[in-house]
């Protein structure tokens, strides 16, 4: 019998919703309960493509909007072989942002439609679970100022949120909305419950293909 695969778990959400903190806590909790787990994040700024993206986000370079969209997608595709290998080895991957951020951020720019934005990511490993950390703008504001990177303005984040809401209407993706206004431990408890369910439900199922 083939051994059990790991689950592909994605955390998405608006800025300051606590994605990174929660990804780390989830990986730790899974490992402590004897389930192999690793964290990944997109963009992965360590690769050659990731460095181009990082310079763009830090406003050290300008890139044409379609071009940078395709680079974000290429940055996911270049990591697919590694992701598949780890999942096959039974390692659960907890991913901070994925194709949904890719589509939500680019389609929030003028002149882009959701459909065009989704195309380059069609066929990526399909997450078994996507949790959207929901936080209203007033609550996000209480958590501090925006940083200085590109996209970190309230007007742009509002359009991004609307695009995420459109993406969440797609029933082919296993979306769960998490109330990120709770304290860190409360959010973590919700995330852990959904993740354990997903790990148990998908361990004998083949990995799917996103938006296909």
Among 31-39, 101-109, 178-186, 194-202, which window interacts with ligand FDM (CB under 6 A)? 101-109
Nearer CB in complex with ligand FDM: 8/57: 57
**In whole angstroms, how close is the CB of 97 to ligand FDM at the nearest point?**
4
Residues 54-83 that bind ligand FDM (CB under 6 A): 57, 72
Compute how many residues bind ligand FDM; rule: CB under 6 A: 9
95 CB-contact burial (10 Å; exposed 0-12 / middle 13-18 / buried 19+): buried
Q: Please report how close the Cβ of residue 4 comes to ligand FDM at its closest, in angstroms.
A: 28
Q: Are 154 and 108 in contact (CB under 8 A)?
A: no
Which residue's C-beta sits nearest to ligand FDM? Answer: 102
Beta strands (DSSP E) in 8-160 are: 8-13, 37-41, 92-96, 125-126, 129-134
Which 3 state secondary structure label does DSSP give 166? helix
Closer residue to ligand FDM in complex, CB, 97/118: 97
Phi, psi of 81 (to 5 degrees): -60, -40
Task: Return the residue of 22, 101, 161, 195 that touches ligand FDM, per CB under 6 A.
Answer: 101
175 sits near ligand FDM (criterion: CB under 6 A): no
Q: Which H or E run includes 30?
A: helix 19-32
DSSP state of 91: P
Q: What are the backbone dihedrals phi and psi of residue 208, each rounded to the nearest 5 degrees, phi first?
A: -90, 180
* Region near ligand FDM per CB under 6 A, out of 87-95, 98-106, 130-138, 199-207: 98-106
Nearest approach, Cβ of residue 205 and ligand FDM (Å): 25
Could you say which of 6, 13, 18, 43 contacts ligand FDM (CB under 6 A)? 43
Lookup: tokens for 22? 């929660």
Q: Which stretch binds ligand FDM (CB under 6 A): 81-89, 99-107, 112-120, 200-208?
A: 99-107
Closer of 29 and 49 to ligand FDM (Cβ): 49
Residue number, 5 or 69, with CB nearest to ligand FDM: 69
| Cβ 124 vs Cβ 80: under 8 Å | yes
* Dist CA 199 CA 4 (whole Å): 10
Q: How many CA within 13 A on the CB side of residue 94? A: 24
For residues 107 and 45, the answer to whether their CB atoms sit within 8 Å is: no
Binding site for ligand FDM (CB under 6 A): 42-43, 57, 72, 97, 101-102, 105, 151
């Amino acid at each position: 019998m083939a051994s059990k695969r790991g689950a592909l778990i994605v955390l998405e959400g608006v800025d300051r919703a606590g994605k990174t903190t929660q990804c780390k806590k989830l990986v730790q909790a899974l490992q402590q309960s004897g389930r192999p787990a690793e964290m990944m994040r997109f963009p992965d700024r360590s690769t050659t493509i990731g460095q181009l993206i990082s310079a763009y986000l830090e406003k050290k370079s300008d890139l044409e909007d379609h071009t940078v969209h395709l680079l974000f997608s290429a940055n996911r595709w270049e990591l697919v072989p590694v992701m598949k290998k780890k999942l096959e080895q039974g390692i659960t991957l907890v991913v901070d942002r994925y194709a949904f951020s890719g589509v939500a951020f680019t389609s929030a720019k003028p002149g882009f439609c959701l459909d065009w934005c989704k195309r380059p990511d069609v066929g990526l490993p399909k997450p078994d679970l996507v949790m959207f950390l929901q936080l209203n703008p007033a609550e996000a504001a209480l958590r501090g100022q925006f940083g200085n990177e590109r996209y970190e303005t309230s007007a742009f984040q509002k359009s991004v949120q609307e695009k995420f809401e459109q993406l969440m209407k797609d029933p082919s993706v296993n979306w769960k909305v998490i109330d990120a206004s709770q304290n860190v431990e409360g959010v973590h408890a919700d995330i852990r419950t959904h993740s354990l369910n997903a790990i148990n439900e998908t361990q004998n199922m083949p990995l799917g293909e996103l938006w296909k």
